A and B are shown apart, each in its own frame.
Chain A
Amino acid sequence: MKGSLPLLILFTLSQGGKHGYAIAKVIREQSEGVLAFTEGTLYPTLHDLEKRGFIESYKDKVSGRTRRCYQLTEAGLRELDVQRQEWNQYSSAVSSILGGAV
């Protein structure tokens, strides 16, 4: 499932700005623990998305601590649509093959 983390991050951030740990927690909880990733690689992925202009960071106070949070940009919203479409095409193609085999 290479390359799916950026899509999940973009989707998570489309629901509102979050810091890194909150993003990891949402992915873990919403997939009911099925999807996991090396959490240390979350930050390079976030920094990469920021360099590409898909997200932007800002400082926010969370539980009394200053945290670096991330939010989606307009370009990120468009990228989310593109990646979601690609994912839907891919998954429906696999589903139709598996469905046909049953």
Chain B
Amino acid sequence: MNSFKNWLDEVMDGLPAELVEEIQTEYTAHYEDAVEDHQSEGFSGAESEQIALGQLGTAKKVSRKLKDVHIGRATYLSGLYASALLLFLFIASQILYVSLDLKDGSLASRGFMSSIEFILVTFSLYILFAMRRLLEWHYEEESLVPLITFIGVGMVWQSGAVIISRLLYDYSGHDEALRTLSSYTSATDLILLVSILIGRFIMGCGLVMLGWRLSKVSDSLYGLRKPIAGGIMLMGFCAATYGISVNIDLYAPAELAYVGMMLGHAIIWPLTILLFFRVLYRNPIHTPLKTT
């Protein structure tokens, strides 16, 4: 019974407090019924408890499934809204950037662009967080979690540096990321440029690795696995290429990589919306059966 108590504690860990009692009661009744049945089949008390516990499965697996249903669904829904908003903001910011001629270098323009960058990165981080839960809890692809964290770190790093750089320096006519390292004007400027480069490189490599690993998962993600993996790899490759080519003064590949990044955005966000939607509103959750 002690083993069952430990199993139950591990399963309940992290679940909303208001649900714990009811779910605990359900599992306890199930376990007690199973133990009684095994005893009536002739097994000893200890054997029956062991068999009943084995039939419940590992606490980690059950805990993930419960979190998927009771916490995950709300996260996936907000992930869906965040993806839709991000797509809208992304398009709107590109239109505003061109139509308002925000390259005049004024503090107002730079402040506006920094705010946009901050909003876009905040939404992107939230979608990454929702995607992390989806892959870990819904699809049981735990091995992808560290990669998502890695991408998040790269994203915060590069966007933080971009925002600070924009606010501190007037690079009229330039996107600050489109400057070679040799064009720095001060030590702080150099640190920021290097930070943008490193952050973009970390994020790019992380995205390529995530896309590659995602293309190998067993579930088809409602038929979206390949296009999502492709979009992520394209975006990652272009982000890394963009950073490097700018650094070594190769503007033509940088411009091409920039177009690739935009294309990546245009592919990924609609697909993310579709994936969250299908997870929420299509077939009930996947629970594998096996033949004995």
Contacts and interface: CB of A to CB of B under 8 A. Distances in A.
Interface of A: 1-6, 8, 19-21, 24-25, 33-45, 47-49, 51-52, 54, 65, 67-68
B2 interface: no
A43 B285 CA distance: 11
B34 interface: yes
Most buried by B among A1, A4, A41, A67: A41
A5 B27 CA distance: 18
Interface residues of B, number: 35
Nearest to B289: A1
Interface of B is mostly: helix
Contacts of A39: 30, 34, 55-57
Contact of A20 (B22, B30, B286): B30
A38 B62 contact: yes
Contacts of A2: 219, 286-288
B132 interface: no
Nearest to B7: A40
Interface of B: 11, 22-23, 25-27, 29-30, 33-34, 37, 55-59, 61-62, 65-66, 68-70, 73, 219, 283-292
A3 B27 contact: no
Given A6-B283, A47-B69, A48-B284, A36 B289 contact: yes
Given A37-B289, A45-B65, 19 more contacts: A3-B284, A3-B286, A4-B289, A5-B287, A6-B284, A20-B30, A21-B30, A37-B288, A40-B27, A40-B57, A43-B23, A43-B62, A44-B287, A45-B285, A47-B66, A48-B284, A48-B285, A68-B25, A68-B26
A56 to B, nearest CB: 15
A36 B25 contact: no
A4 B290 CA distance: 10
Contact of B287 (A6, A34, A52, A65): A6
A49 B29 contact: no
A2 B57 CA distance: 17
Nearest to A54: B284
Given A38-B56, A44-B62, A49 B284 contact: yes
Contacts of A67: 29
A40 B284 contact: no
Nearest to B291: A34
A79 to B, nearest CB: 8
Contacts of A8: 289
Contact of B65 (A1, A44, A65): A44
A21 B29 contact: yes
Of all A-B residue pairs in the complex, the 4 with the closest CB atoms, nearest first, are: A38-B57, A40-B62, A44-B65, A5-B287
Contacts of B33: 21
